[in-house]
Amino acid sequence: MSDAYILGIESSCDETAAAVVRSGEKIVSNVVFSQIATHQPYGGVVPELASREHLKAIVPVVRKALADAGQTYQSVDAFAVTQGPGLAGALLVGISYAKALAFALDKPLIAVNHLEGHIHAVLLEERQKGNREIHFPLLALVVSGGHTHLYLAEQRGEGWSYDNIGHTRDDAAGEAFDKVAKLLGLGYPGGPIIDKLSTYGDSAAVKFPPSQIKHRDRREKSVRSEATDRPRFDFSYSGIKTAVLRYVETHGLQPSIEARRKALAGITKPKVEDYLARCDPRTLDLVASFQRAMVEDLMGKALAAARAYNAATLFVTGGVAANNELRQRFEQEAAMEGLPVYFPSQPLSTDNAAMIAAAAYPKFVVKDFAPADFSAEAGMALR
Ligand code: KG4
Ligand code: ZN
């Protein structure tokens, strides 16, 4: 089959993104317009504002992705767009635009699950490096602001099939980073700043009980799915957020947090030094201990699942996979178990459209095109 150039569009949350990928294995262009500045004052993504920002950005972002790739609307072979999961109003902007392009240019349109996109971000970059030795069954930990899922993936012809063997019962891991950062007056999004500040604190200073899920089987060694009787590896991160809050209250950190929040709000793009100048050692220890607890929990569960299901490969992907300590710990521990572990590069860990164009390629090959009446699916599952 000759090369296929797919233009991918992603608008599920707070990034408007477009990219051109060749045959699922080469990023030809990759443009991401982040709305962080819009949502920052609110300490989280405001859905209505996200839709409005996507509407403003979508045409210039797509034009830039085509120009950077030396392609045109006419020259690409197909369009791909995120169908879900995500914010319905945000998804609809990308979907409407992609539908209009496919209709006007009479080209195929492929609907992609955002979570499958995160998994294919890893595959895309491995292929780009020339690695074709990915073995199945493959375990994928998708860990982002909206999701914390474990999928067991198998290859089925050109495409993949997915079995969810774990998910969060409350907050997603990235959400916990964001909420703890907000609680400590560190701004939004929380993950990148907690990542940076953690190196300045003592990660053993504050002990968090292992974030066990509040589940009636919690005392049993492994939890099994009632439907399939297979082991499940669920997560729970609302408890650790409450534990941080309790620490703040019992140690009287509130006044310094308020002072920090006010001071940082007055700086347009605060640098690490700006945060460090406003964080006492106790806060830095708390931040480092929180990150350590999150990383150990994610890693412990992912590796236990890999053992239980005899996974041949581990993928760790999604925004939180950008975390430096998480990467190091997974690499160390997986190496000890002889399990190959792969991450996307940091730019491809967070939301982007290259992963959408890459995940669309196997569907393009088998002509699995979206029907004309498809719509956004905010709670779309991956199978
Ligand atoms: O994948 P993503 O861009 O969007 C979703 O699909 O949710 O992930 C964004 C999430 C945010 O919660 C952000 O705080 C987190 O990823 N994140 C990080 C890091 N960079 C982004 N969390 C921990 N460490 C990081 N370096
Ligand atoms: Zn995402």
- Pick the residue whose CA is nearest to atom 11 on ligand 1: 145
Residue 199 CA, ligand 2 centroid: distance in Å: 25
What is the distance between the alpha carbons of residues 5 and 226, in angstroms, rounded to a whole number?
A: 44
pLDDT at residue 326 above 60? yes
- Ligand that comes closest to the CA of residue 36: 1
- Ligand that comes closest to the CA of residue 348: 1
Residue 107 CA, ligand 1 centroid: distance in Å: 33
Asked whether 198 and 288 are in contact (CB, 8 A), the reply is: yes
Least confident window among 140-149, 181-190, 222-231, 337-346 = 222-231
**DSSP string across 71-136:** --TTT-SEEEEEEESS-HHHHHHHHHHHHHHHHHHT--EEEEEHHHHHHHHHHHHHHHTT-----S
Percent of the chain past pLDDT 90, that is, above it, reads 89
Kindly state the average pLDDT of the residues 49-71. Answer: 98
Residues in contact with ligand 1 by the CB-under-6-Å rule are 13, 144-146, 174, 177-178, 189-192, 195, 318-320, 322-323, 350-351
Residue 376, CA distances (Å) to 46, 99, 149, 171 in order: 18, 12, 21, 23
Q: Which atom of ligand 1 is nearest to the CA of 177?
A: 14
Residue from 14, 177, 193 whose mutation best tests the ligand 1 pocket (most atoms within 8 A of CB): 177
Residue 143 CA, ligand 1 centroid: distance in Å: 8
Question: Which residue bears the tokens 């498809």?
Answer: 374
pLDDT at residue 380 above 60? yes
Task: Record the pTM.
Answer: 0.94
Least confident window among 159-168, 224-233, 312-321, 343-352 = 224-233
Kindly state the average pLDDT of the residues 268-284. Answer: 96
pLDDT digits (tens, 9 = 90+) for 248-265: 999 999 999 999 999 999
- On the 0-12 / 13-18 / 19+ scale of CB atoms within 10 A, 42 is exposed
Q: Which atom of ligand 1 is nearest to the CA of 174?
A: 12
Tokens at residue 89, please?
């109003």
Kindly state the average pLDDT of the residues 21-49. Answer: 94
**Which residue type sits at 367?**
K
**Three-state SS at 18:** strand
- Strand pairing category for 148-156 and 138-143: antiparallel
- Ligand that comes closest to the CA of residue 44: 1
pLDDT digits (tens, 9 = 90+) for 106-121: 999 999 999 999 999 9
Kindly indicate the confidence band of residue 128, based on its pLDDT and cuts at 50, 70 and 90.
very high
What are the DSSP E strand ranges found in the chain? Answer: 5-10, 15-22, 26-34, 78-84, 109-113, 138-143, 148-156, 159-167, 223-224, 231-232, 313-317, 341-342
Asked whether 156 and 333 are in contact (CB, 8 A), the reply is: no
pLDDT digits (tens, 9 = 90+) for 204-249: 999 997 754 454 444 445 677 777 778 999 999 999 999 999 999 9
- Ligand that comes closest to the CA of residue 144: 1
Residues with CB under 5 A from ligand 2 (ion): 144, 351
**∠ CA 143-148-153, rounded to 5°:** 85
Question: Which residue bears the tokens 């996979």?
Answer: 321
Kindly indicate the confidence band of residue 159, based on its pLDDT and cuts at 50, 70 and 90.
confident
Residue 322 CA, ligand 2 centroid: distance in Å: 12
Pick from 307, 289, 144, 292: nearest CA to 205: 289
